Copies of this chain bind each other. A is one copy, B any other.
Amino acid sequence: MKITIGFIAEQSGVSKSTVSRYLNGGYVSEELKSIIAYNIKKYHYVPNQFAQSLKAKESMMVGVVIPRVNSYAAQETLMGIETVLESHHYKMMMSSSSLSLEKELEAIQLFDQQKVDGIILLATQITKEHTNLFNRLSVPIIIIGQEAQGQSYFVYNDHSAGYIMAEHAYKQGYMTWDYIGVGESDRAVGILRKQGMYLMAKTDSDIKVHEHKGDFSFATSERIAEEILSDNLPHCIICATDTIALAVMKVAKRLNKDIPSDVQIIGSGNYDITTLSYPELSSVSFPYRETGFDAAKALLELMHDSDKKFQVVVDVSLVPRGSL
């Protein structure tokens, strides 16, 4: 049978109100407390959360929507978020959109219906539908990774990331670059990083850049790398992400190129695996974990003061290693 508050009340010889008060820390005599406690234990009573939430104000849960489960950036960000939520006794619920925008929207809406106290979205793209949904939400939301007009967000300085990679190549004396980018639907990675790179390239008219359109996948990156390296010439390859860079490195090794004398490689993201390759991969560091931490703190504030707005740009920095 189903153990309800009414059953516990009955067994304890008190009213439901009293049991409810016991559960929520209201006035109950010591005597009743112990007998109620006894029965709750005896029957393994667990309050029905739906019934509670129908009245209650706070669920002490925050929902986090991530683009995919095997993303280094997502993992790190989650760990930062988790740290602050935990210390404030909130539970973190996660939902992955598997890179489907539709599922992403659904997940956000589901969290809203579930009456979480706040939502964090690790975004890859902000569409008109996103904006509409954001405005209808009954709980605060913070977006990480992409700008969203009128909302609170934390974005990385992706423009600077592109510039920094280019500048490093330039300072090492390389004047002809291959740039492997990703699609422009991801504004931060697809557009801003590339723009940053070109801004730097324009500072010296001797610089030549060959642009290649790629995507986030390892396989596509390998294919592009094979094309680039097929001419047996030296190449300085600037990659929009570390995944791309790692794929390039793998192909270069397969073709017996020496890194960094034949082929120079730099990526962005500073994934943990950049230090496992040989040579280690030069990269641009994005403070994912700290940003997750800060965003969660900000969300906590928003939950209590919905007039606030956070729109912060997080700095990135060069981490030169062996590959360039």
Contacts and interface: CB of A to CB of B under 8 A. Distances in A.
Interface of A: 44, 46-51, 53-54, 69-70, 75-76, 78-79, 82, 86, 91-96, 98, 106-107, 109-110, 112-115, 136, 246, 250, 253, 273, 275-278
A44 B136 contact: yes
Complex copy number for this chain: 2
Contacts of A51: 50, 54
Nearest to A53: B50
Contact of A98 (B47, B82, B106, B112): B82
Contact of A276 (B53, B82, B96, B277): B277
B79 A47 contact: no
Chain A contact residues, majority secondary structure: helix
A233 B303 CA distance: 60
A48 B54 contact: yes
Nearest to A60: B110
A256 to B, nearest CB: 12
A86 B47 CA distance: 30
Given A50-B50, A69-B94, A70-B76, 7 more contacts: A44-B136, A49-B114, A51-B54, A92-B96, A93-B95, A114-B114, A246-B276
A51 B49 CA distance: 11
A96 B78 contact: yes
Contact of A94 (B94, B273, B275): B94
A250 B280 CA distance: 11
B70 A79 contact: yes
Contacts of A79: 69-70
A113 B276 contact: no
